[in-house]
Amino acid sequence: MAHITLGGNKIETSGKLPQKGDKVPNFKLTAQDMSTKTLENYKGKRVVLNIFPSIDTNVCATSVRKFNEKATGLKNTEVLCISRDLPFAQKRFVSDEDITNVTNLSDFKTGNFGKEYGLEMISGALEGLHSRAVIVLDEEGTVIHSQQVPEIGEEPDYLSALKPLL
């Protein structure tokens, strides 16, 4: 269990993020067209998992915009922006913002991604949503970077997350 904060208020998560060197579990997430995506869909590619509570908050939206911008020059890399938002909300945001370099996926059906990756908030005002985190995987699905953002209202460390991919 990790301890993070939201506006200085303590929040607990369901576990700990996968750490550098760990193999991550497979996942089932929902794409904007309501199809199911799994880690197998990205086999052989490096993957950035940008995870956050909701696309409808300023910091979450900013992280999607920044990863969209920074993903442009990354070779053999997919950036997946994951929340529990409905795919319809994610699609609206992508359309309104002209987001083209990242893929938004939803964990709305079961929340299992949040539980299995140890990042579901189990207390606090946003209980049930995902905490803010970034996990970077190599082509084999092994973690090469992991960050649990300690204060939900802060952005992730983009430079540290992308450094292993440059």
Q: Is 81 a catalytic residue?
A: no
7: CB partners within 8 A, 6+ apart = 153
* Cα 104 from Cα 54, distance rounded (Å): 11
Domains in the chain, please, with CATH?
3-165 (3.40.30.10)
pTM, to two decimals? 0.96
46: CB partners within 8 A, 6+ apart = 74, 76, 77, 78, 136, 137, 138, 139, 165
* Helix axis angle, 58-70 to 87-97, nearest 10°: 60
**Ranges under pLDDT 50 in the chain:** none
Q: What is the pLDDT of residue 80?
A: 98
The percentage of the chain sitting over the pLDDT mark of 70, rounded to a whole number, equals 100
Catalytic residue among 11, 49, 60, 137: 60
